[in-house]
């Protein structure tokens, strides 16, 4: 019981810290960045308190960066780029131009740093910590289900509070969790996560508003059912590709 309470409180601390630093310390970008970076020593300390080997114990193994991150990034970015291309064809929005050089570089720098750290920390909390703290205590499928549910609730809370968005978050969680389960590396999960976020950021920036990315955009219209269908199909396609790519990898988490 003591280990369970320690693990639960540890998760709450990590999740709250991340959400507070990303949502409430936004009055100064540099203070916010420093606050976010302080997550890593905090996570390392909390992991050790729970008997894990610091950041390595929750999947952040430096040596596996090049092995998993590039391919996963291409999966995430490619599926989301295809989704946005489909949206353009369906008339949801149109791209009318590209912003000037310095402005483009500033936007790319922001989304690269912001979305990389955000994707990595979210994965460390909802997958790296949760899965490793539960490993060996309950069946692997139950661990995966808990991790996916926690991610979906966290993503749902930060986005549109609708059933469709919750289902979408569940489907997204399948890709992230499967990649992590099969490799034991946070880079497999974060590569996908960061890839789709980069595709999103190129259009909507960190703010999520039309035209805040590197492209000038004009908003169109699309049937809500078609919009949802395209979104869910892109998430499902991403899982299929992640499954096919990682299915033959050596199973690390599930024994």
Instruction: Name the DSSP class of 250.
Output: P
* Residue 156 located in a structural domain: yes
Instruction: Name the DSSP class of 94.
Output: E
Quick check: 173 and 148 in contact, CB under 8 A? yes
- pLDDT tens figures, 110-149: 999 999 999 999 999 999 999 999 988 889 999 999 999 9
Number of domains in the chain: 1
Query: How far from 98 is each of 5, 92, 104, 202, CA to CA, in Å?
Result: 51, 18, 8, 10
Domain that holds residue 121: 62-246
The reported pLDDT for the residue numbered 249 is 66
- pLDDT tens figures, 193-240: 999 999 999 999 988 888 888 998 999 899 999 999 999 999 999 999
Residue 255 pLDDT grade (very low, low, confident, very high; cuts 50, 70, 90): very low
The reported pLDDT for the residue numbered 189 is 96
- pLDDT tens figures, 151-189: 998 877 666 668 888 999 999 999 999 999 999 899 999
* Residue 54 located in a structural domain: no
The reported pLDDT for the residue numbered 20 is 86
Length of the chain measured in residues: 255
pLDDT score of 22 more than 90: no
Quick check: 122 and 18 in contact, CB under 8 A? yes
Lowest mean pLDDT: which of 58-62, 71-75, 86-90, 91-95?
Answer: 58-62
* Residue 181 located in a structural domain: yes
* Residue 108 located in a structural domain: yes
Query: Whole-structure pTM over 0.85, yes or no?
Result: yes
* Residue 47 located in a structural domain: no
Percent of the chain with pLDDT over 70: 95
* Residue 96 located in a structural domain: yes
Q: HEC states along 56-101?
A: HHHCCCHHHHHHHHHHHHHHHHHHHHHHHHHHHHHCCEEEEEECCH
Residue 93's φ and ψ, nearest 5 degrees, are -160, 170
- CA angle, 207 then 147 then 16, to 5°: 50
Quick check: 106 and 159 in contact, CB under 8 A? no
* Residue 239 located in a structural domain: yes
| Best CA proximity match to 127, nearest among 176, 169, 195, 64 | 176
Lowest mean pLDDT: which of 25-29, 37-41, 117-121, 162-166?
Answer: 25-29
* Residue 127 located in a structural domain: yes
pLDDT, mean of residues 48-63: 88
Quick check: 226 and 91 in contact, CB under 8 A? no
Contacts of 226 (CB under 8 A, 6+ apart): 90
């Amino acid at each position: 019981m003591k280990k369970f309470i320690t693990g639960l409180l540890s998760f709450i601390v990590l999740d709250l810290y991340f959400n507070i630093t990303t949502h409430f310390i936004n009055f100064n970008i540099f203070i916010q960045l420093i606050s976010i970076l302080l997550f890593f020593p905090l996570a390392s300390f909390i992991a050790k308190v729970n008997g894990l080997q610091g950041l390595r114990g929750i999947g952040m193994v430096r040596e596996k960066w090049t092995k998993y991150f590039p391919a996963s990034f291409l999966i995430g970015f490619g599926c989301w780029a295809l989704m946005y291309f489909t949206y353009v064809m369906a008339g949801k929005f149109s791209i009318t131009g590209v912003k000037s050089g310095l402005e483009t570089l500033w936007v790319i720098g922001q989304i690269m740093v912001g979305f990389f750290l955000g994707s990595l920390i979210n994965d460390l909390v909802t997958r790296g910590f949760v899965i490793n703290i539960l490993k060996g205590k309950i069946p692997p499928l139950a661990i995966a289900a808990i991790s996916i549910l926690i991610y979906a609730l966290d993503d749902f809370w930060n986005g549109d509070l609708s059933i469709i968005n919750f289902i979408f978050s569940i489907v997204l969680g399948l890709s992230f969790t499967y990649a992590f389960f099969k490799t034991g590396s946070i880079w497999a999960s974060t590569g996908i996560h960061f890839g789709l976020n980069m595709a999103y950021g190129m259009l909507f920036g960190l703010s999520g508003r039309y035209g805040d990315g590197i492209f000038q955009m004009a908003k169109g219209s699309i049937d809500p059912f078609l919009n949802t269908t395209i979104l869910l199909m892109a998430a499902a396609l991403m899982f299929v590709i992640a499954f096919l790519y990682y299915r033959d990898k050596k199973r690390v988490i599930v024994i």
